Amino acid sequence: NARPDLIAYRAGQLRSEADVINARAQRFSDVYLLYQPYTFQDNTFQGLKGAYSYALGVTVALPLFNRNQGNILRAKLNAEQSKYEVANHEKQVIYDVQEAVREYELSRASVIEFRREVIPASRKVRDAAYRRWQGGETSILEYFDAQQEYNDVVSKYRDALVRHRNAMLDLNTAVGTRVVP
């Protein structure tokens, strides 16, 4: 209900239905009422006396051959096509939302796993390497390797956060309103 593109498709469908009603109404021409309040008719050339009169009339075009059938049929076909386009677009929106939800859930699970398991485990390995180096058990190169691995894990965590934020944006876009802050 919040997707602007779907709202536009639905408005287009309503317009095409209104075009059908308009085409049906155009079958009949307009009716014109004529009124002449005062008319002088000079009949002296016929040897008669001039006359004063009033006139009232109606003009109607009868639709014997042209009943706007072509425009009515075209409007009906456009309305039918609009109905199918709206239905297809609604299905596409449902699919987009389902895909966005799936991606959001996967990226959220990835971020949670990094926070709860991967980063703390990597930090323990790095800290243990630091303690071994401080205790003189290993060289500083092993500590540097552990630090580099920790930095790689943090970098992957940040990438997972970016993917999660993009998934949040995709979900909000698919729904058409902000559902995930």
pLDDT tens for 107-122 read: 999 999 999 999 999 9
State the average pLDDT over residues 145-153: 97
Residue 128 has pLDDT above 80, yes or no: yes
Output the pLDDT for position 25.
84
> Are the beta carbons of 19 and 78 closer than 8 angstroms?
yes
CA angle 116, 118, 119 (to 5 degrees): 80
> Are the beta carbons of 134 and 77 closer than 8 angstroms?
no
Q: Structure pTM?
A: 0.69
Output the pLDDT for position 11.
95
Q: Residue 10's CB: how many other CB atoms inside 10 A?
A: 16
Query: In sequence order, what are the beta bridge partners of 39?
Result: 53
pLDDT tens for 34-43 read: 888 888 888 8
| Tokens encoding 75 | 């409007």
When comparing pLDDT for 129 and 37, which is higher?
129
Distance CA 177, CA 31 (A): 50
Decide: helix, strand or coil at residue 164.
helix
Output the pLDDT for position 68.
79
